[in-house]
């Protein structure tokens, strides 16, 4: 059976120490270009994104990716995970140079070393980090770390890119840089882009579909189906600012 939805969640529950982190009875995410998940701190955004990135297994329920039921087995997970990359809200950088961190994902996915380095350097430049290229990742500030990790995730070139609060920790200038890079990514790549914010009124992308979370549950709001657009049919411009 073909299924247009990129994600379908069926009675998914995630618990931690008897507390419900996430309780979603049914959620279908249509293949819109941009999906935005909005919720306060503790609303379950991060948990949901980790499940969507197939990095956290729900305690109960089923997850479908592009119509395929996810069986939480190593051999089955890896091909699915290869389509998805998550940028965490507080990302992690491995020991070593910034440049090696940025090119790591692309290298793992088989990009030749030279190409990965070249692309990493140009991405770092776009994100205003070119002077950090050969520095140790351990010495980065929170905002720099976030941009380095973003460059790393973008370089993986996944089908589904998931960003957990990509604009937090960033000052105005870095925020603008990130927005610019993401806009360009959306116009040049065909993939799907899911991100979360804690407020409705921050940076946003035109034509994004909005999902509201509160206390681990979905909240129905009218805006949540605002302006559905067909993928890649029109150029994206920053909205909401």
Partner 1 sequence: MLAAEILNILSVSLKVSLSATLAAALVSVPIGIGLGWGRFPGRNTLVTVLKTLMALPTVVVGLLLYGLFSRLGPLGFLKILYTPAAMAAGQFVLALPIISSLTCSAIEGLDPRVRRTALTLGASRFQAALLGAREAKLTLLAAIAAGFGRVVTEVGSAIMLGGNIKDYTRTMTTAITLETAKGEFELGIYLGFILLAVALGLNLAVAKGLESR
Part in contact with partner 1 (CB under 8 A); list of ranges 14-22, 73-81, 114-122, 192-200: 73-81
Part of the chain binding partner 1 (CB under 8 A), chosen from 37-45, 91-99, 195-203, 224-232: 91-99
CA 201 to chain centre: 19
Q: Considering only 5-13, 37-45, 47-55, 177-185, which stretch makes contact with partner 1 by CB under 8 A?
A: 47-55
User: Can you tell me the distance from the alpha carbon of 63 to that of 48, in angstroms, rounded to the nearest whole number?
Assistant: 11
Task: Choose between 107 and 209: whose C-beta lies nearer to partner 1.
Answer: 107
For the record, the structure tokens of 76 come out as 């089955």
* Six token digits for residue 51: 């499940």
The count of residues interacting with partner 1 (CB under 8 A) is 23
Per rule CB under 8 A, is residue 189 in the interface with partner 1? no
Are the CB atoms for 166 and 194 separated by under 8 Å?
no
The CA distance from 82 to 206, in Å, is: 27
CA distance 97 to 208: 35
Distance (Å, rounded) from C-alpha 48 to C-alpha 233?
28
- Is residue 82 a contact point for partner 1 (CB under 8 A)? yes
Cβ-based neighbour number of residue 140 at 10 Å: 19
**Minimal distance, residue 149 CB to partner 1, in Å:** 8
Q: Is 113 exposed, middle or buried (0-12, 13-18, 19+ CB in 10 A)?
A: exposed
Q: Are the C-beta atoms of 174 and 1 separated by less than 8 Å?
A: no
Residue 95 binds partner 1 (CB under 8 A): yes
Give the shortest CB-240-to-partner 1 separation in angstroms: 27
Using CB under 8 A, pick the residue from 9, 29, 48, 84 that binds partner 1: 84
The contact pattern for partner 1, residues 139-168, with x = CB under 8 A and - = no contact, is -------------xx--x------------
Which parts of this chain interact with partner 1 (CB under 8 A)? 50, 53, 55, 74, 78, 81-82, 84-86, 88, 90-92, 94-95, 104-105, 108-109, 152-153, 156
């Amino acid at each position: 059976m073909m299924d247009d939805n990129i994600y379908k969640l069926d009675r998914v529950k995630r618990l931690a120490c008897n507390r419900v982190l996430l309780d979603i009875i049914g959620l279908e995410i249509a293949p819109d270009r941009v999906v935005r998940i909005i919720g306060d701190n503790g609303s379950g955004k991060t948990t949901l994104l980790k499940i969507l990135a197939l990095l956290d297994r729900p305690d109960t329920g089923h997850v479908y990716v592009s119509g395929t039921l996810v069986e939480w087995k190593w051999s089955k997970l890896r091909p699915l995970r290869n389509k998805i990359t998550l940028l965490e809200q507080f990302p992690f950088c491995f020991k070593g140079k910034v440049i090696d961190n940025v090119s790591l994902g692309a290298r793992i996915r088989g990009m030749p070393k030279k190409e990965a380095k070249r692309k990493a350097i140009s991405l770092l430049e776009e994100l205003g980090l070119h002077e950090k290229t050969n520095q140790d990742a351990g010495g980065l500030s929170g905002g720099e770390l976030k941009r380095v990790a973003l460059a790393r995730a973008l370089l993986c070139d996944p089908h589904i890119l998931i960003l957990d609060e990509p604009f937090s920790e960033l000052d105005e200038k870095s925020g603008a840089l990130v927005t610019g890079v993401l806009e360009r990514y959306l116009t040049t790549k065909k993939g799907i882009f899911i991100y979360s914010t804690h407020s409705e009124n921050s940076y946003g992308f035109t034509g994004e579909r909005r999902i509201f979370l509160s206390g681990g549950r979905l909240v129905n709001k009218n805006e949540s189906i605002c302006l559905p657009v067909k993928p890649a049919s029109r150029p994206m411009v920053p909205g909401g600012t």
